[in-house]
Structure 1
């Protein structure tokens, strides 16, 4: 299972570079999800991350196809309001494309349109989605059984949830506050990494 770390849009550029340059070795992908920043600001942030030692292939930029293309990073993550997956695939064939979805129908359409992976949630209750009913493991399982592309689970995930998520067919997990808001970001990232390695060893 993969570990995707998602930025929370609450840190300064300096804080982000400091945190991400320390934890990047413990995660598979870093999603730069900074909706309030301009294209130029996202470019400067990602450029600095790369110069601080983060591998470009690990970086996935939220929504900004232009920045992802210019910096030759690992991919782009899009949502319902973004440029469509099929349009991106046609114009930027080299980009890895993830699509964030919240329903079965959205996920099926995203695969048809050419998405390389799906981000689906929220699976568990989470403070960032207060008042909204979580999708739960049954919905996750239904999705993973229907899709050929990997499904990454997001929302309220902690290291102790990995076994049931894998059993539901998740190809990976996406974590935001569990690492970004931790008192010790490195320790938190390593805890998820260790749990994933233990899970991998268990299945053989």
Structure 2
């Protein structure tokens, strides 16, 4: 399964046209990850993206901004592990909460606290994390073995290395750069 993650700074062309193209391709979900936007601007963007994603039957997942998600009636949210830890009560009203993890310990704790799925990475070298060493397939394999919930790999996953991600136990993968560019 493929989850597409937005980053308008990487987008080639019109952002909303790109979101439509992504939705039309049928991913499992789209995570609207525009972390640098203030709530008002994010909410306006999320409204448009929600209309597009809904038209194609693709769930839109709000990233971190749980108040925006509640106002828009979005039932899924994704958070970095630290934000997830800081807001346990605020997340009770969501159907599914996904968590980005960087360690096996975070993965275990997120699952214990009720996360529906995890995103683990970055697995391979990626332009988005040029200055950081990738965690590798052994890391991914350890995370997948430590939890029962689905784990999605992120970071440098391509068609060429996707099979190794699946062999490590991942349920699927996330793609950001590849879906924002041609």
Q: TM-score, with normalisation over the residues of structure 2?
A: 0.88
Q: Equivalents in 2 of 1:115, 1:87: separation in Å? A: 13
2:153 alignment partner, SS class: strand
Unaligned runs of 5+ in 2: none
Map of 1:43 onto structure 2: 43
Residues 146 and 11 (structure 1), Cα distance of their counterparts in 2 relative to 1, 3 Å cut = closer
2:59 counterpart residue number = 58
Q: Tell me how large the CA RMSD over aligned residues is.
A: 2.0
Please state how far the C-alpha of 1:87 moved relative to its aligned partner: 2.3
Which runs of structure 1 show a deviation greater than 2 angstroms over 4 or more consecutive aligned residues? Answer: 83-90
Match of 2:15 in 1: 16
The whole-number CA distance in structure 1 between the counterparts of 2:115 and 2:176 is 22
What is the deviation of 1:57? 5.7
How far apart are 1:171 and its partner, in Å?
0.7
* Counterpart secondary structure, 1:88: coil
2:151 is aligned to 151
Contact 2:4 2:22 survives alignment (8 Å): no
Give distance in 2, aligned partners of 1:124 and 1:164.
Answer: 11
SS of residue matched to 1:115: coil
Displacement of 1:181: 2.3
1:1-204 equivalence runs, <5 A: 2-10=1-9, 15-26=14-25, 27-51=27-51, 53-55=52-54, 58-84=59-85, 86-90=88-92, 92=93, 94-182=94-182
Q: CA deviation at 1:72?
A: 2.1
- Per-residue CA shift, 1:41-90, capped at 9, x if unaligned? 11111211233x31276101111011112222251111144253632343
Contact persistence 2:30–2:58 (CA under 8 A): no
CA–CA distance in structure 2, aligned partners of residues 42 and 145 of structure 1: 35
Looking at structure 2, the residues matched to 11 and 103 of structure 1 have their Cα atoms a distance apart, in angstroms, of 27
Unaligned runs of 5+ in 1: 183-204
**1:30·1:60 contact (CA, 8 Å) conserved in 2?**
yes
- Is 1:9–1:36's contact at 8 Å kept on the other side of the alignment? no
1:186 corresponding residue in structure 2 = none
Question: How many residues matched?
Answer: 177
Q: TM-score, normalised by structure 1?
A: 0.79
SS at match of 1:123: coil
Please say which of residues 17-26 and 99-108 is displaced more in the overlay: 17-26
Larger helix share, 1 or 2 = 1
